[in-house]
A and B are shown apart, each in its own frame.
Chain A
């Protein structure tokens, strides 16, 4: 019988610990247990057989760390071949007459993925794929990915398994006593992501005993429509007479596992400290098979830390990461100014949105590359789930692949072509998809017409195996000034879909008031109407106080706000709403009344306000030349004279940047022809992930009015050359912190000399010296950030 069929009618029993048993047999610390498949096959076979004899249906091969990071390709193949062979021999010789299966066991790589470590996501996928392919070649029944403590690595392993074979894939994670993975994910977030990606069973193993894992398992049971795995340790380790002893007996273990099987666990076994005795105790208890796993209907998106459920209490989706109608944002995209885009995300987070919409579509940029970069950078610094908003299927797939969680997908519609392109992506990567009620015939003018399209979308989605919980309908906000019935049709179809089809809904609210004055007022009233009719989520501008007032009041009035805590918190902020970076510098003394003073003192908000004020009577560039630069010079000279410390220099630079923001908007608005500015391309070289120093130099250079193209960290030499040529750069600034990455710097310089000989090259970073920088061919060595600025100034 196939394992998934067996699982439909039965509790499936896994095996117990392997490592502890091998240590008892003489495995030493630091020795790779996987090699024992070849050197001690009889020991491995005996352990596997003992588990089958104890009642295990599934034995996992001794391949926990079998991957290309630890072994050569040849040795890896030999190890996995022997491991599968050992399991097969045990299976044949076991006295157990029940169903018996062999799982290819896959543990974590031991490396951290980028950006916190140096293992690239795609490299991780290839690494796991190699192990899976070999295992499948030698004949296993399923893939078991276990003890993963990072959500991103879990995703890489699951993706590798799904792309490399058609076998069932089980996934279990190691949660800490705080109920989260080592890198932060909650159980609900993991359920959302793994279920979305098509795992066949999910759950927990290792780290704690069954009692401590109980709350985590219950959380998983609450959200999972898949069979749930429980494979705990034999309690908690204690040290008695210099030996590690797990603190619960086989009987205690079995009773606790049984009580969780009673709550819905379908797959049970043991991890560290458990032996065939423990498994026998569990299988002997003859747990009654509970009802089939219940299908859950929660609509959930997730980030690397948490899940956001789209349910009764409405959700806000921030719309500001979008270039439409925003000259400043378009400029940022063209300049590769990721800081501006990321800051837009963080500011919205501070305003209280739950999900960020990300749209970076511009005709003249590579959207796929930009989207993936923005998604990766955003998810590294912001824990909100993201909504990937693009009409390019290529950009959508590339971003979904790299997304660390279950994303919101914007969007699909009733056109055959759209569904044919988007639904396979939803099926493969998981996601909650926004479905627009329009099709080949356009947007229906009646509510009935839009509902019909919704039904068509639902039935097509079902053919792809996509549940209705993963579809959120957008009944399309049309401009009311163009059609007086527009709002009514949108709201009627919204209500019908909510009540009759039982689906969740989303609207982009602001389009309603297009062409009318005082749009905020009408938007917020339309938002109220939509919420009353059942709207689940709004794509909106969180900087609009009117909208936020409606939102918090509505939640309080509809008992979604316990003790009115959110409302009260909002009310205290409403009059003084500032950006995320605001609320700093409360104390303002007398000489801060000038822009110059505010910058010297590093007061961001004040500097911005003063700059806005000054723009009323002064030309933008005048302010830069007469006020900002002189202030920075004071601070810079102080720094050079060691009278001012680096943090203070930075605070001033940040204040100057914040003062510069309204000025650059004014310049864009006035469409003043760009004066030809010195252009600097900045990058931390390939292999190096340290960028604080480089960021400081970027900030100061921007302050001084130079055009800065920041390529980020770990940048390939070719990309630096390309950027230098494209932007016609005058200077390239390279940074490296580690001795191991200086060769990459040298390589970059060589390539630059060859392809972009006109560029001056300055270098900096902790390991460099004047003489060394000359040796690798740089024009200038900058011992600190101010020196870098002086060098670029000197080139004018």
Chain B
């Protein structure tokens, strides 16, 4: 395992149509747009964009995929990592303050709570995109390419892998992300994923 790096990003650009999609309100209207703008304003200076990550060797033997920090028999992940000899494991979060605001508005104004949920999901995904773009650039320079990110719970990769990921990356200390008994992360708008690194371009 390589060392665990911690990185903080500036706020990525907001994609409003993604927020609408998360609100299950494609298209939207002026009232929804106003709600979203107000929501964005509310959390403007309340988010952080933190990521911690590390590199591991990966190998496939007799159907068992050794990820360097754990072993799994997930076929879907094996397929995704086909041709890779290393992976990047990362965890990203937009911080606990958003959960406070969601809780607060679920009391005060449920429509805003729903909107903040959607904004949070969009922000967390945007952070992952920013991180992946950043990594892509770094690895491309060295002649490597990256596979799309893959999270526990996708396909046949069990959610229980979260326990190993959280422990390996020491996320409670590094970025303030912990796991509850139902394997959900706190802060709720957090993501962990695996990215395959391909040996040649």
Contact check, B110 vs A112: say whether CB atoms are below 8 A apart. Answer: no
Question: Which B residues between 62 and 108 are near A, CB-CB below 8 angstroms?
Answer: 69, 96-97, 99-100, 102-104, 106-108
Closest chain-A Cβ to B4's Cβ sits at a distance in Å of 8
The complex places the Cα of A30 from the Cα of B170 at a distance, in Å, of 8
The answer to whether A346 touches B104, judged by C-beta atoms less than 8 angstroms apart, is: yes
Q: Which residue of A lies closest to B5 (CB)?
A: A239
B176 and A183 contacting across the interface, CB-CB below 8 Å: yes
Q: Of B1, B32, B99, B103, which contacts A647 at CB under 8 A?
A: B32
Given contacts A116-B99, A149-B176, A346-B104, A581 and B109 within 8 Å (CB-CB): yes
Contact with A along B1-39 (1 / 0, CB 8 A): 111010000000000000000011100011110010010
What are the residues of chain A within 8 A of B2 when measuring CB–CB? Answer: 242
> What chain B residues lie within 8 Å of A239 (beta carbons)?
3, 5
Q: What separation, in Å, do the CA atoms of A584 and B100 have in the docked complex?
A: 21
Identify which of A29, A580, A740 contacts B69 (C-beta below 8 A): A29
Chain A: which residue is nearest B114 at the CB level?
A647
Whether a CB of chain B sits under 8 angstroms from the CB of A111 is yes
User: Of A29, A112, A338, which one neighbours B178 at CB under 8 angstroms?
Assistant: A112
What residues of B have a CB within 8 angstroms of the CB of A29 in the complex?
1, 54, 69, 168
Question: Do A183 and B110 have beta carbons less than 8 Å apart?
Answer: no
Give complex CA distance A584, B41 in Å. Answer: 13
A118's partner among B25, B106, B180 (CB-CB below 8 A) is B180
- Residue pairs across A and B with CB atoms within 8 Å: the count is 133
Picked from A28, A110, A581, A601, the residue with its CB within 8 Å of the CB of B172 is A110
How many A residues have CB within 8 A of the partner chain? Answer: 56
Asked whether A692 and B96 contact (CB < 8 A) given A30-B164, A380-B103, the answer is no
- List the A residue with the shortest CB-CB distance to B176: A182
**CB <8 Å contact, A602 and B110:** no
B145 located at the interface, meaning its Cβ lies under 8 Å from any Cβ of chain A in the complex: no
The number of chain B residues touching the other chain, given as a range, is 35 or more
When distances are taken between beta carbons in the complex, the residues of chain B under 8 Å from A237 are 3
Which of A110, A116, A117, A740: most chain B CB closer than 10 A? A117
Q: A239-B3, A647-B111, A740-B181 are in contact. List 18 more A-B contacts (CB 8 A).
A: A28-B1, A29-B54, A111-B180, A112-B172, A112-B178, A117-B186, A149-B173, A182-B176, A184-B96, A381-B107, A648-B111, A650-B111, A651-B31, A654-B111, A687-B181, A692-B106, A695-B113, A738-B182
- A-B contacts, 29 of them at CB < 8 A, read A29-B69, A30-B69, A112-B180, A112-B186, A116-B186, A118-B182, A118-B186, A149-B173, A149-B176, A182-B96, A184-B97, A339-B107, A342-B107, A343-B108, A380-B103, A383-B100, A580-B108, A587-B30, A645-B24, A646-B24, A646-B25, A647-B25, A648-B111, A650-B111, A651-B111, A654-B110, A687-B181, A692-B102, A695-B107
Binding site for B on A (CB under 8 A): 28-30, 108, 110-112, 115-119, 147, 149, 174, 182-184, 237, 239, 242-244, 338-339, 342-343, 346, 380-383, 580-581, 584, 587, 601-602, 645-648, 650-651, 653-654, 687-688, 691-692, 695-696, 699, 738, 740-741
Q: Ordered nearest first, which 7 A-B pairs have the shortest CB separation?
A: A645-B25, A381-B104, A650-B111, A182-B176, A118-B180, A112-B186, A117-B186
Residues of B at under 8 Å CB distance from A? 1-3, 5, 23-25, 29-32, 35, 38, 54, 69, 96-97, 99-100, 102-104, 106-111, 113-115, 117, 164, 167-168, 172-173, 176, 178-184, 186-188
